[in-house]
Amino acid sequence: MTNELKVLFYLKKNQRKKNGLCPIMGRIHVGKTMAQFSLKIDADVELWDAKAGRLKGKSVFANDINKKIEKVNLLIYTRYNEEKRIGKDFTATDLKVIVQGIAEAQDSLCAYMAKMNEKLAARVGKDRALSTLTSYKHYHSLLVAFLQTKYKLKDISFKALKYSFIEEYVHYLRVTRKLAINTTSFAVCRMREAISEAIDEGIIGKDPFFSYELESSEIKHRNISRKDLEKIMAENFDNETTAIVRDMFVFSTFCGLAYIDVKNLTYENIVKQEDGSYWIMTHRQKTGSASNIRLMEIPLSLIEKYRSHTSAS
């Protein structure tokens, strides 16, 4: 059976309303299958061009209705081409369900992930870090680029996803984009988070990638030797920016703080104890856990070195 698409728009004249208008209907033919649906808009019988499937004239009303019809028509053909590109068997009814199901942006993968990022953005500075949002936006852009490269699509409906999609996406990330295993894993996990939320909301019934197992590798943390650290500390840099970066690295090494936690420090976090010692009292941004760190001679000297460069705020 050939899957040639034909779309027809017509008036349902036997359901004329009191205002004289009739519902505009759509009929989809895919091969030998057929499905009908309502556009949920009405038109005047006297102005209807049955052959064109549009309203006659150039009035504001006619132009508005014709634009709505054209939008639906474009959506149908877009989804039809999408289904063909991914090699999925479908009928007119399947296409009707997909078209009606993606009337809202949340029913397509990339748009849904974009909405997830919008929600995350509202939490930045409260319980989520800006770096997390930046990473998630990057994962979203990777998916968008994959769809454009592989299928020439701007987005894809949840209902059009099948198992081979995730295999092709992983291949794209690893081979075409040359990403590391763990970076690929993070990108795919974010996509699967969107699918899980869509399932919870009833947008789709099941995970098309349920049996897929992500590949990952153990992250090996590198340590710096005392000799190498002393060499870095003794180095004289002509470039001021490089020297500042070196000092921040040394400070974070002695204090055991991540870069973002060093960046967040203020003088209010430096507390003098009764015995004369100074302590950093702060909370880790990533975990929110409290950290009380005694300042030894070297980190204290770095604080004094840059005291005139900053404000207590």
Per-residue model confidence (pLDDT) at position 47? 92
Q: With 80 as the cut, is the pLDDT of residue 211 above it?
A: yes
User: Higher pLDDT residue, 131 or 86?
Assistant: 131
Burial level of 124, CB count in 10 A (0-12/13-18/19+)?
Answer: middle
Per-residue model confidence (pLDDT) at position 122? 92
Q: With 80 as the cut, is the pLDDT of residue 105 above it?
A: no
For the entire predicted model, the pTM comes to 0.54
The per-residue DSSP string of 250-273 comes to: HHHHHHT--HHHHHH--GGGEEE-
Q: Which helix (H) or strand (E) holds 60?
A: helix 60-85
Q: What is the pLDDT of residues 149-194, one digit of tens each?
A: 988 888 888 877 888 899 999 999 999 999 999 999 999 999 999 9
User: Higher pLDDT residue, 107 or 8?
Assistant: 8
Place of tokens 């289904």: 83
pLDDT category of residue 137 using cuts at 50, 70 and 90: very high
Q: What is the pLDDT of residues 34-50, one digit of tens each?
A: 999 888 888 989 999 99
Q: With 60 as the cut, is the pLDDT of residue 103 above it?
A: no
Per-residue model confidence (pLDDT) at position 100? 66
Q: What is the mean pLDDT of residues 204-223?
A: 80
Per-residue model confidence (pLDDT) at position 310? 57
Q: What is the pLDDT of residues 214-263, one digit of tens each?
A: 877 666 777 888 899 999 999 999 999 999 999 999 999 999 998 888 98
CA contacts within 13 A on the Cβ side of 246 = 16
Domains of the chain: 5-101 (no CATH), 105-200 (1.10.150), 226-309 (no CATH)
